[in-house]
């Protein structure tokens, strides 16, 4: 990513450019541009150009308010006096986390969260720095949630209308056929209760899905901003020539783990939207990478790993999604075994789905814990259902099951209470060979 300016590395309208600042600007995934004391664009990075659809030449020297911020979403003019981004230059006070709508070169709206801060030298404001974070996805999710809530209200309205109609029909039949009114009213009441229960079940499920959507949007907004800041700081520290090799290796590990956190946040949103890319993966390597993340807990709990790989070969899959599913299953298996330890058995083998007869790979994770009842097993994949009390969110297995189904696979559970050789729980993940077609189909539906 480049940071474009009229005179790179030299003093410009907004003051001298510090090389370390340019290093940050060249690598942040956030749109940034600077404005000189006359309100003209002095510098702009590649992320901002990509977001707005303009070229460098079309932005430098231009009034950015007139170029991309000239009107409201309803079409009315956006006066400069009303723009909070311009107030930083006029008053010297920063504007932070302002939700605005900018306009791309093609005339399309783009929803952003932006901040504007003055650049001061001495007692004079020499310009401003503006940052842009694309929140179009969050805006679209908000619109989908509003539509879902409207649909829920319509379900309730139709349910009430159906109830009134059933009651009126029952009363009319009772008046005309007094002799058989008792049985008719009873049948109508039973039917009404069934319809009401079905409507209430659908409503509860819709409310759970809406809550998960709001949670996913909140996670993305609250985590991504500090995550980007920490990543940028690590980049600057890792490029310090005085850094030792040992410290450099630790920083590299930290950067990889931050990248995993970013991917988990993206997956939390993606399971709502759909869409994933497929890569060739080795089942054994994928499993070992997940076990490595839990090595400390496995050692502390004195849990042995029994690996049983049979006829497994590299397969095509959305690696990030499958890794997230396995990470959740391994973590749950550790939680299920008491402090005295136990055995976790991980099997991989070629298999067929008993429902669709599709061929593919089956990965199962078994623990030697106390198991769960049939009632618990029947509800374990429902959102917000947890057996861990306040320590569990009730989302892990639901997200895992949703991801498996989205890619044409299936996640099942089998459990027996009592512990020991005959007890414990087994989660079985089936990954079909035709997953590439499933991924392609999911991408087309979400395009």
Q: What is the DSSP string of 99-159?
A: EEEEE-TTS-EEEEEEEEEEEEETTEEEEEEEEEEE-HHHHHHHHHHHHHHHHHHHHHHHH
Fold of the CATH domain 279-445 = Heat Shock Protein 90 (3.30.565)
CB hemisphere CA count around 228 (13 angstroms): 14
Residue 443: per-residue pLDDT:
46
Query: Using CA atoms, how far apart are residues 245 and 234, in angstroms rounded to an integer?
Result: 15
Boundaries of every domain in the chain: 3-134, 138-235, 279-445
Question: Model-level pTM?
Answer: 0.44
69-106 confidence digits (pLDDT tens): 999 999 999 999 888 888 888 888 898 989 999 999 99
CA 228 – CA 115 distance, rounded (Å):
15
CA trace torsion 341, 342, 343, 344 (10° rounding):
-70
Residue with the two structure tokens 């679209």: 140
Q: How many Cα atoms within 13 Å fall on the side-chain side of residue 444?
A: 6
CB-based contacts of 38, cutoff 8 Å, min separation 6: 13
Q: Does domain 3-134 have CATH number 3.30.450.20?
A: yes
DSSP at 446: T
CA atoms within 13 A on the CB side of 357: 0
- Quote the CA–CA distance of 158 and 166 in Å, as a whole number: 12
Give residue 16's pLDDT: 46
Burial class (CB in 10 A: 0-12, 13-18, 19+), 392: middle
Strand ranges, E, within 282-423: 303-310, 315-317, 342-352, 359-366, 410-416
pLDDT (0 to 100) of residue 109: 93
| Gap between the Cα atoms of 68 and 58, Å rounded | 11
What is residue 144's predicted lDDT score, i.e. its pLDDT?
A: 76
Query: Which sign does the torsion angle of CA 335, 338, 343, 345 carry?
Result: negative
Supply 149's token pair.
């809530």
Q: Give the separation between CA 133 and CA 111, rounded to whole angstroms.
A: 9
What pLDDT does residue 356 have? 82
What contacts 157, CB < 8 A, 6 or more positions away? none
Q: Are 321 and 267 in contact (CB under 8 A)?
A: yes
Six token digits for residue 194: 């069934």
**Residues near 331 by Cβ (< 8 Å), separated by ≥ 6?**
294, 396
Alpha carbon distance 171, 355 (integer Å):
47
User: What is the pLDDT at residue 291?
Assistant: 92
Tokens for 110, please give them. 């783009």
- Are 377 and 426 in contact, with CB atoms under 8 Å apart? no
- Between CA 162 and CA 218 the distance in angstroms is 37
Tens of pLDDT, residue by residue over 354-381, are: 888 888 899 999 999 888 899 999 888 8
The pLDDT assigned to 358 comes to 85
Kind plus residue range of the DSSP H or E element containing 337: none
Instruction: Provide the total of helices (H) and of strands (E) in the chain, helices listed first.
Output: 14, 13
Residue whose entry in the numeric block shows the structure tokens 């979400």: 446
The residue ranges of the chain whose pLDDT is under 50 are 1-2, 6-18, 436-440, 442-444, 446-447
Q: How far is CA 416 from the centre of its chain?
A: 34
Q: What is the 3-state secondary structure (H, E, C) of 232-259?
A: HHHHHHHCCCCCCHHHHHHHHHHHHHHH
**Structure confidence by residue, pLDDT tens digits, 204-241:** 655 665 566 666 656 665 676 677 667 777 777 777 78
Please tell me the predicted confidence (pLDDT) of residue 266: 64
**Domains 3-134 and 279-445 belong to one CATH topology:** no
> Residues with Cβ < 8 Å from 63, sequence gap 6 or more?
39, 40, 41
């Amino acid at each position: 990513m480049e940071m474009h300016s009229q005179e790179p590395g030299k003093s410009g309208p907004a003051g001298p450019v510090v090389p370390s600042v340019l290093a940050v600007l060249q690598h942040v995934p956030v749109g940034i541009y600077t404005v000189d004391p006359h309100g003209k664009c002095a510098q702009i990075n590649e992320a901002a150009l990509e977001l707005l659809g303009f070229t460098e030449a079309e932005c430098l020297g231009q009034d950015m308010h007139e170029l991309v911020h000239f009107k409201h979403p309803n079409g009315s003019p956006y006066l400069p006096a009303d723009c909070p981004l311009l107030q930083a230059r006029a008053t010297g006070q920063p504007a932070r986390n302002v939700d605005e709508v900018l306009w791309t070169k093609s005339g399309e709206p783009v929803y952003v969260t932006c901040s504007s801060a003055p650049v001061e030298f001495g007692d004079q404001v020499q310009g401003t720095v503006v940052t842009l974070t694309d929140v179009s996805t969050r805006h679209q999710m908000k619109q989908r949630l509003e539509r879902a809530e409207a649909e829920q209200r319509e379900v309730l309205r139709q349910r009430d209308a159906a109830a009134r109609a059933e009651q009126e029909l029952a009363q009319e039949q009772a008046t005309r056929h007094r002799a058989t009114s008792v049985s008719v009213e009873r049948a109508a009441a039973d039917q009404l209760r069934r319809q009401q229960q079905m409507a209430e079940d659908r409503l509860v499920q819709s409310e759970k899905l809406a809550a998960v959507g709001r949670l996913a949007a909140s996670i993305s907004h609250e985590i991504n901003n500090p995550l980007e800041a920490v990543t940028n700081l690590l980049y600057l520290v890792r490029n310090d020539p005085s850094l030792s090799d040992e410290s450099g290796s630790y920083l590299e590990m930290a950067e990889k783990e931050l990248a995993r956190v970013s991917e988990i946040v993206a997956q939390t949103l993606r399971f709502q939207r759909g869409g994933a890319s497929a890569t060739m993966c080795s089942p054994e390597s994928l499993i070992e990478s997940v076990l490595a993340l839990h090595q400390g807990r496995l050692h502390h709990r004195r849990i042995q790993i029994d690996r049983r790989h049979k006829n497994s070969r590299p397969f095509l899959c959305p690696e990030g999604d499958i890794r997230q599913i396995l990470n959740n299953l391994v973590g749950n298996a550790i939680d299920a075994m008491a402090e005295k330890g136990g055995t976790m058995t991980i099997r991989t083998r070629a298999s067929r789905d008993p429902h669709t007869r599709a061929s593919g790979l089956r990965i199962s994770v078994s623990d030697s814990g106390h198991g769960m009842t049939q009632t618990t097993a029947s509800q374990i994949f429902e959102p917000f259902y947890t057996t861990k009390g306040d320590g569990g969110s009730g989302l892990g297995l639901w997200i895992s099951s949703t991801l498996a189904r989205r890619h044409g696979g299936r996640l099942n559970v089998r459990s027996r209470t009592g512990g020991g050789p005959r007890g414990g729980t087994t989660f079985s993940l089936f990954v079909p060979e035709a997953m590439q077609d499933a991924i392609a189909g999911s991408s087309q539906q979400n395009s």
